[in-house]
């Protein structure tokens, strides 16, 4: 029986619709192509030779998800401080390998920006003056709703892991992870199932190394955040009605001033009043995912926030007034400086470094890049006693093992499953505070680290492959292989244990020295 072209196309469309826009056929196509190809390694490869962790190994351990074979030699030749400067300007780094993976494998995550601002009032409404760049257009957050929510979460998780493994913009990826925790959103709540993908793209990634006030503002009006912390239902219709304070509390406690930042319950309620009227269209309405300001649901009376008077009649502008007060508040500067110093220096951050970073934050009007530069210039960061002492969080551990082993991976669900068992899969934390940084939270799952090490070495993780024999040959032997994983030359005891155990790559990944950075 002959089939016309029209009938063939119709049958194809029907087949796609039957999948509910899931990515089955696309996933098959990627399997036909095979695993991603790792970026070329240097030839010949040179492993670290110092007996202790030197500056090159230190910056690779703290600013990246782990050194790949040959990275240490490159950073040594470039200079550790020059490497920091390079990483602080990610747009200047050619990242075509990673970009190709994401663009071709997860195009749904690359959709244009997807929400526009609208006021139910005249064209001269203050909202139009606040956001002129979005007055007449926007993107298509609504298109994210065309995907099955589980498939979208899988894509977001896998793309995050692939970027961590393959991107040359390593510090940017580390900071994306930092801000994802700081502005944590659990995608299992309501329509965050679809909207978190836009938040990752338009809020976190867009501002990870930019200015904190812009990042905070983008988060405050993120459709996903409006869903997650109930900002979309924060509305009043008469003066006696109390606002929903959920987002206001987390804005002060987690996003800006910190729990000891000096605010009161009255401040929480006043901030909540300022933020009334903002909402987001749900998936049952036209223009779903679009945020709006409803003037008739806003408390337009006078407010007082942290000692600052906000005049009556501000409407949508109340939001910017609040953010201007808290984004560059001294308590915010210190709170963020402490978190960043904990991330890059020590779980107990040195107070001199915290104060220095806070001063830079305020002096530069919240420049994340400048604040990081100050931290990475501090003697506390470079001190030998701070090297190799921070316990790797599970995602850092897993990704650093893949990078050190020059693994090829498509970040398939089998790999994500190990992160789930380790308690650190991306976008799975249920509360607004995000995954913790300190070692005490992560030291109880060592058995699963060992299980992962064995499975990786034996190529028992579907979608991930390593060739330790080839890597050993290219490096020049077992001591060089050990040094590549540990960031320093192995001790006599480590050489002996590696030679006698027969554990090979699994022993290196499970070794105490590899658990820390």
Q: What is the pLDDT of residues 357-394, one digit of tens each?
A: 999 999 999 999 999 999 999 999 999 999 999 999 99
- Band of pLDDT at residue 123, cut at 50, 70 and 90: very low
Least confident of 135-149, 248-262, 279-293, 453-467: 135-149
pLDDT digits (tens, 9 = 90+) for 456-504: 999 999 999 999 999 999 999 999 999 999 999 999 999 999 999 888 9
pLDDT band at 514 (very low <50, low <70, confident <90, very high): very high
Helix (H, G, I), strand (E, B) or coil at 148: coil
- Has residue 208 got a pLDDT over 70? yes
Which of the four pLDDT bands, split at 50, 70 and 90, describes residue 313? Answer: very high
Distances (CA, A) of 22 to 17, 26, 35, 316: 9, 9, 21, 39
The answer to whether residue 82 scores a pLDDT higher than 70 is: yes
Residue 119 Cα distances to 3, 127, 278, angstroms: 52, 7, 10
Span 91-110, average pLDDT: 91
When pLDDT is cut at 50, 70 and 90, the band that residue 130 belongs to is: low
Looking at every residue in the chain, the average pLDDT score rounds to 89
pLDDT mean over 20-39: 47
CB neighbour list of residue 475: distance below 8 Å, 6 or more residues apart: 45, 47, 69, 481, 484
Entry field: residues in the chain: 517
Mean pLDDT (whole number) for 95-108: 90
Of 137-146, 242-251, 280-289, 314-323, least confident by mean pLDDT is 137-146
Sign, CA torsion 32/38/39/43: negative
**pLDDT computed for residue 36 by the predictor:** 78
| Backbone torsions φ then ψ of 308, nearest 5 degrees | -100, 135
Residue 167 has pLDDT above 50, yes or no: yes
Give dist(CA 169, CA 4) in Å, integer.
Answer: 49
Angle at 462 between CA 460 and CA 465, to 5 degrees: 70
Looking at residue 33, its pLDDT comes to 41
For residue 424, count other CB atoms closer than 10 A to its CB: 21
Residue 387 and residue 54: Cα distance in Å, rounded?
8
Tokens of 78: 């470039």
pTM equals: 0.89
- How sure is the predictor about 137, in pLDDT bands with cuts at 50, 70 and 90? very low
With beta carbons less than 8 A apart as the criterion, state whether 223 and 195 touch.
yes
Give the C-alpha separation, 500 to 498, whole Å: 6
Mean pLDDT value of segment 14-32: 36
Q: pLDDT, tens digit, for every residue of 274-295?
A: 999 999 999 998 889 999 999 9
Is pLDDT of 164 > 70?
yes
Between 342 and 283, whose confidence is greater?
342
Q: What percent of the chain has pLDDT over 70?
A: 88
HEC string of 236-276 equals CCCCCCCCCCHHHHHHHHHHCCCCCCCCCHHHHHHHHHHCC
The pLDDT value given to residue 140: 62
């Amino acid at each position: 029986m002959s089939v016309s072209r029209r009938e063939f196309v119709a049958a194809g469309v029907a087949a796609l619709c039957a999948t509910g826009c899931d990515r089955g056929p696309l996933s098959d196509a990627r399997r036909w192509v095979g695993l991603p190809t790792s970026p070329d390694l240097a030839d010949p490869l040179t492993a670290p030779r110092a007996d202790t962790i030197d500056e090159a190994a230190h910056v690779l351990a703290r600013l990246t998800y782990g050194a790949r074979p040959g990275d240490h030699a490159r950073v040594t030749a470039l200079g550790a401080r020059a490497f920091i400067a390079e990483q602080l300007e990610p747009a200047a780094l050619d990242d075509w390998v990673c970009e190709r993976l994401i663009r071709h494998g997860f195009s749904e995550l690359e959709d244009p920006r997807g929400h526009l601002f609208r006021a139910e009032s005249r064209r001269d409404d203050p909202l139009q003056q606040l956001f002129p760049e979005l007055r007449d257009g926007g993107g298509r957050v609504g298109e994210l709703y065309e995907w099955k929510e589980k498939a979208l979460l899988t894509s977001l998780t896998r793309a995050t892991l692939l970027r961590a493994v393959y991107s040359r913009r390593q510090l940017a990826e580390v900071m994306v992870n930092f801000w994802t925790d700081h502005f944590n959103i659990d995608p299992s709540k309501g329509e965050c199932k679809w909207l978190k993908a836009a938040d990752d793209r338009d809020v976190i990634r867009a501002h990870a190394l930019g200015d904190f006030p812009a990042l905070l503002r983008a988060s405050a009006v993120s459709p996903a955040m409006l869903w997650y912390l109930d900002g979309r239902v924060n509305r009043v219709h008469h003066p006696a009605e109390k606002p929903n304070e959920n987002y206001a509390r987390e804005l002060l406690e987690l996003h800006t001033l910190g729990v000891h930042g000096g605010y009161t319950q009255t401040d929480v309620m006043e901030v909540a009043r300022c933020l009334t009227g903002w909402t987001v269209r749900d998936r049952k309405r036209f223009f779903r995912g679009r945020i709006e300001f409803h003037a008739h649901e806003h408390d337009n009376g006078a407010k007082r926030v942290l000692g600052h008077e906000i005049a009556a009649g501000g409407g949508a502008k109340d939001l910017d007034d609040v953010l201007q007060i808290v984004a560059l508040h001294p308590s915010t500067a210190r709170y963020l400086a402490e978190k960043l110093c904990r991330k890059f220096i020590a779980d107990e951050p040195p107070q001199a470094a915290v104060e220095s970073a806070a001063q830079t934050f305020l002096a530069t009007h919240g420049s994340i890049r400048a604040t990081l530069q100050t931290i990475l210039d501090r003697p506390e960061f470079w001190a030998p006693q701070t090297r190799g002492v921070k316990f790797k969080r599970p995602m850092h551990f897993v990704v650093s093992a893949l990078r050190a082993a020059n693994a090829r991976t498509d970040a398939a669900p089998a790999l994500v499953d190990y992160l789930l068992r380790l308690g650190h899969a991306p976008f799975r934390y249920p509360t607004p505070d995000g995954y913790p940084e300190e070692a005490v939270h992560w030291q109880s799952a060592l058995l699963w680290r060992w299980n992962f090490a064995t499975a990786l070495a034996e190529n028992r993780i579907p979608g991930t492959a390593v060739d330790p024999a080839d890597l050993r040959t290219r490096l020049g032997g077992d001591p060089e292989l050990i040094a590549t994983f540990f960031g320093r030359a192995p001790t006599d005891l480590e050489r002996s244990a590696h030679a006698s155990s027969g554990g090979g790559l699994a022993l290196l990944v499970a070794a105490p020295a590899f658990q820390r950075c």
